[in-house]
Chain A
Amino acid sequence: MKTLWFHLMPYPGLDERFDREAKSVWVDLDRSYFDSSVVTRSYHEYLDQLEYAAAAGFDGICVNEHHQSAYGTMPSPNLMAAALSRRAPDAAIVVMGNSIALYNPPTRVAEELAMLDHLSEGRLVAGFPVGTAMDTCYCYGIQPGQLRQRFAEAHELIIRAWSEAEPFAFNGRYHKLRYVNVTPRPLQSPRPPVWIPGGGSSVETWDLAVRHDYVYAYLSYYGYEQGKATMDGFWEYATSRGLDDNPYRAAFLQFITVAETDAEARRLYKEPVEYFYRRCLKIPPGYAGAPGYQSEATFRSKLSSQVRKAARDVGSEPPTFDQIVDRGWVIAGSPDTVRERLEQSIGDLRFGHLLCLMHIGNMSDELTKMNTKLFAEKVMPQLRNRWPGYEDKWWPEACM
């Protein structure tokens, strides 16, 4: 079992004025809600926390990409990964990832990730998410109906740019390049492991992961109980197409808070957890419904993303900490409680990469590190041998 530490880098200073007046945490949030000194301090604390997690023994540390948002203040995960690659010398650097449909030409992503692979001495995992509708369609102006075509073309170009020995011409629908010759190529050969993160159920995302033998990473913020249907869907899709059931084909993100006792966990984590679910998911329904963002097949299947769920919930009373824990959105409690619930979730959902989200909402630096330390010392060792006999073929060799 691989255990990874994942940071969203949320803005921690949203207040009651945000609750009362702001329409959305994403896309068009007024800059008056941001204090620059908080942003500066947070970036350094957040990088410290990722480095702390690597030192505590997590197998990998993860960064991701969001735009124009207080949900996640990391428009460029590659910048953060570059900073981490020299200060966290052993852990895999998991960029989860670059929304490749947004970049013109996408060879820029191929170049930056190749640089990161060298900086980290072959410890890079490259994540290619389609991206949320807010990030891609509303903030970056991509036509929703083109998003997946652009993604597919960018994916093909990046993989070829990494793999082909000779310079080549690329004649895509959206990108026409006479000379593709990315320099340097990645250190890992033929390329870094590729993971496909997704925030919901999409037939196309499963298909991409299955066709190319990539890891499917479900970035759920509604926990393992609600994630089961999505993960079951993925496994059914994968096995029906002839793939084996190696659990390392899958990754799952789980919010986790650990304390010495269940009661202590409630006392310590109530505020930051409620901050996240009350403020960081304040997304108006319009932003979750860009026509064309869902393919026809996904629309017909009535699969729904968790962003749509969050948007549907806006306006209703935010859930309390107890409700959040009862629903399994956050696994909270003593080390024994957390281990027990994680073991159940790992088995039920069948995944070999656990993405632990341990800084939540406006959690303090001190509390985040305590959470991380307790987990690393008292929970992680019990999970490590969960999948004996299975080989993780989607992990950087330098981190084996």
Chain B
Amino acid sequence: MHVIYLHSLAGNPGLSPALEQLTASGIEVVAPTLPGFDGTSGWEPPHDHLTWLTRVWDVLDSTGALPCPVIGASIGGMFAAELAIFRPESVTALSLLAPLGIWAGESPAADPYALPGAQRLPLLFASEVPQAFEDQYAAFGEGGDVARYLAQVAGASLVWPIPDRDLDTRIHRIRQRNRILWGGRDRIAPVEVAMRWSSVSEPTIIESAGHLLEWDEPDAVGGALLEFLDEERQRPAV
């Protein structure tokens, strides 16, 4: 069995310990890097959301992994939900980890871009920033700063000026079996946002986790994902 994992606002630094639990149990995790996050020179953000979706679908189709269960975190959660809505035949089951795309205006969400660059990444975690994120662009050598900057440009384009892409007008079309997990200490999308998803399914709140909950609480998140995917594994192949 295989699943697709769509990464967060902070890029694709490799599998989190939570996802490694899936691989350890025999599930292949296909984790493509979203457009703009690979540090490619010359990349510019798409001018609108539909063009963003199209570019992401091009990447997903190129993996050859669809249809399959899709897991998405943060902006990856937003893309996973959009895929389930617009291309329902591609998603056999859906797991969302603090997806962005819906805004709860009354909740005190932090703006990472009001902070100096060095203080933005820590805002995504309840615990220390994992080393994998610090090392993410090390392979670029001296060009690492540029690659990191371009990835930040991509991320900012998905959440600027506020992380709302009107997903609330579409999520009623999610028909797949799904599971939503959220960090109780999420400062980017506070738990009030999670409640906006309750019409899709009741979110499970992991109290001690921040926005990137699969890194903050790998055992809890990995366990929940395994439990969710086990049912898919037991489903007879069509």
Residue of B nearest to A148 (CB): B44
Cα A312 to Cα B114 with chains together (Å): 14
Q: 8 A-B contacts, Cβ less than 8 Å apart?
A: A142-B161, A143-B157, A145-B45, A149-B47, A286-B113, A286-B115, A289-B113, A290-B113
Are B153 and A292 in contact, with the CB atoms below 8 A? yes
> Any chain B CB within 8 A of the CB of A174?
yes
**Counting chain B CB atoms within 10 Å of each CB, which of A149, A287, A291, A296 scores highest?**
A291
B156 touches which of A149, A284, A292 (Cβ 8 Å): A292
Interface string of A291-306 (1 = CB under 8 A from B): 1101010011000000
Q: Least Cβ distance of A309 to chain B in Å? A: 14
Residue of B nearest to A312 (CB): B116
In the complex, chain A residues whose CB is within 8 Å of the CB of B150: 296
> Any chain B CB within 8 A of the CB of A173?
yes
In the complex, chain B residues whose CB is within 8 Å of the CB of A146: 45, 47, 157
Residue of A nearest to B159 (CB): A143
Interface string of B87-119 (1 = CB under 8 A from A): 000000000000000000000000001111101
Interface string of A181-209 (1 = CB under 8 A from B): 00000000000000000000000000000
Are B45 and A292 in contact, with the CB atoms below 8 A? yes
Chain B contact residues, CB within 8 Å of chain A? 41-42, 44-45, 47, 113-117, 119, 146, 149-150, 152-157, 160-161
Chain A contact residues, CB within 8 Å of chain B? 137-138, 141-146, 149, 173-174, 284-287, 289-292, 294, 296, 299-300
Q: Which 10 A-B pairs have the closest CB atoms?
A: A291-B152, A141-B161, A292-B153, A285-B116, A145-B45, A291-B156, A143-B160, A286-B115, A286-B114, A291-B153
In the complex, chain B residues whose CB is within 8 Å of the CB of A138: 113-114, 161
Are A137 and B160 in contact, with the CB atoms below 8 A? yes
Cα A133 to Cα B119 with chains together (Å): 19
Are B114 and A143 in contact, with the CB atoms below 8 A? no
In the complex, chain B residues whose CB is within 8 Å of the CB of A284: 114, 116
Q: Least Cβ distance of B193 to chain A in Å? A: 19
Are A289 and B117 in contact, with the CB atoms below 8 A? yes
Cα A146 to Cα B119 with chains together (Å): 24
Residue of B nearest to A172 (CB): B47
Q: Least Cβ distance of A27 to chain B in Å? A: 8
In the complex, chain A residues whose CB is within 8 Å of the CB of B156: 143-145, 290-292
Given A141-B161, A291-B156, A299-B146, check contact A174 B47 (CB 8 Å). yes
In the complex, chain A residues whose CB is within 8 Å of the CB of B42: 296
In the complex, chain A residues whose CB is within 8 Å of the CB of B153: 144-145, 291-292
Residue of A nearest to B160 (CB): A143
Cα A149 to Cα B45 with chains together (Å): 10
Residue of A nearest to B155 (CB): A291
Q: Least Cβ distance of B118 to chain A in Å? A: 9
Are B47 and A299 in contact, with the CB atoms below 8 A? no
Q: Least Cβ distance of B50 to chain A in Å? A: 12
Are B47 and A173 in contact, with the CB atoms below 8 A? yes
Residue of B nearest to A150 (CB): B47
Given A286-B113, A286-B114, A287-B114, check contact A292 B146 (CB 8 Å). no
In the complex, chain B residues whose CB is within 8 Å of the CB of A289: 113, 116-117
Cα A219 to Cα B38 with chains together (Å): 36
In the complex, chain B residues whose CB is within 8 Å of the CB of A286: 113-116, 119
Residue of B nearest to A300 (CB): B146
In the complex, chain A residues whose CB is within 8 Å of the CB of B41: 296
Cα A145 to Cα B115 with chains together (Å): 18
In the complex, chain A residues whose CB is within 8 Å of the CB of B44: 145, 149
Cα A146 to Cα B45 with chains together (Å): 7
Cα A143 to Cα B155 with chains together (Å): 11
In the complex, chain A residues whose CB is within 8 Å of the CB of B155: 291
Residue of A nearest to B119 (CB): A286
In the complex, chain B residues whose CB is within 8 Å of the CB of A291: 113, 149, 152-153, 155-156
Cα A168 to Cα B104 with chains together (Å): 42
In the complex, chain A residues whose CB is within 8 Å of the CB of B119: 286
